[in-house]
Structure 1
Amino acid sequence: MARILALDYGKVRTGIAVTDELQLIASGLTTVETPKLLDFLKDYLQKESVEKFVVGLPKQMDNTESESEVLIQEFLKKLVTKFPSIPVERQDERFTSKMAVQSMLESGLKKKKRREKALVDEISATLILQAYLNRF
């Protein structure tokens, strides 16, 4: 079985998480500067088999699209063009950043480490992927 790879897409950085090969467990992989994201994915896909991309879907509390969705849509066009054989699904990402910070607090990370926005993005991607897995 191939992995599922999730993206918490951001204008500056993108958090990335993947499943194990049995698609049971979501784990943080890394955070990549967004302009380098497609190159990172190309390199990763040469080493690992990925069955599907799951991209966060930012929504407002009233269920309308977030402002960042415009940027995500532009990225999705590039993603589908570059990797046409890998389907893309979306997963609601409301509250993932807050949940990521809360999990960092609960795990006892020092304040300096909790300030690392890249780590928040990676944990957010993991939460997006876990929520996706929990749907099935």
Structure 2
Amino acid sequence: MVWLGVDLGNARVGLALSDPELTFAHPAGNIHVAGDYFFAIDEVLNVIEDEHVDHVIVGLPLQMDGTEGKSGKKARRWAANLEKRLQAESEDSDSTEYQIPQVSLIDERLTTVSAHRQLFEAHKASNKHRPVVDQQSAVVILQTALDRTREQ
């Protein structure tokens, strides 16, 4: 069992994968999207297939008061599009063994702040954060989901 964490950004979509025991999240790279993260869906589908992902956790950027703004609605639409594509791929698949991964949204408020702090604590120079902060944010998103699952 492997989970995929996704941090949607305007320049990059950060990815993180879990270990098979669903204990730890680790960075899995970025997808460069140049302003429209809907372009990342095909590459995310490839990662899901290549890594045999069972569950996708997408960061939901809520506003500080907990309401869903423009970015939150866009993330919700992205997750719905991913679900539709997964369903279509399942219908096109000849394999009866294909399990459609579950797609969930999780509050991602302050994950970028947390990711920057973790990178700083790892002695990564702040001018080097930008290329890796999205995947580190995906790690935070995924690790939060993994921890919540264990606590239940």
Q: Same fold (TM over 0.5)?
A: yes
1:86 aligned partner: 101
Q: How does 1:63-78 map to 2 (within 5 A)?
A: 63-78=66-81
Measure the CA separation in 2 of the matches of 1:89 and 1:29: 18
2:132 aligns with one of 119, 122, 125: 119
> Do structure 1's residue 99 and structure 2's residue 99 form an aligned pair?
no
Paired with 1:12 and 1:5, the residues of 2 have a C-alpha distance of 19
The residue number in structure 2 matching 1:45 is 48
**Max Rg structure:** 2
How far 1:35 moved relative to its partner?
4.7
Q: What is the CA–CA distance in structure 1 between the aligned matches of 2:59 and 2:24, rounded to whole Å?
A: 18
Mapped to 1, the partners of 2:2 and 2:53 lie a distance apart of 5
Residue in 2 aligned with 1:135?
148
Q: How does 1:24-35 map to 2 (within 5 A)?
A: 24-33=23-32, 34-35=37-38
Residue of structure 2 in register with 1:3 after alignment: 2
**What value does the CA root-mean-square deviation take over the aligned residues?**
1.5
Q: Which runs of 4+ in 1 moved over 6 A?
A: none
Q: CA deviation at 1:78?
A: 1.6
**Deviation of 1:10 (Å):** 2.0
SS of residue in 1 equivalent to 2:4 = strand
The sequence identity of aligned pairs, in percent, is: 29
For 1:11 and 1:121, locate their aligned partners in 2 and report how far apart those are by CA, in whole Å: 10
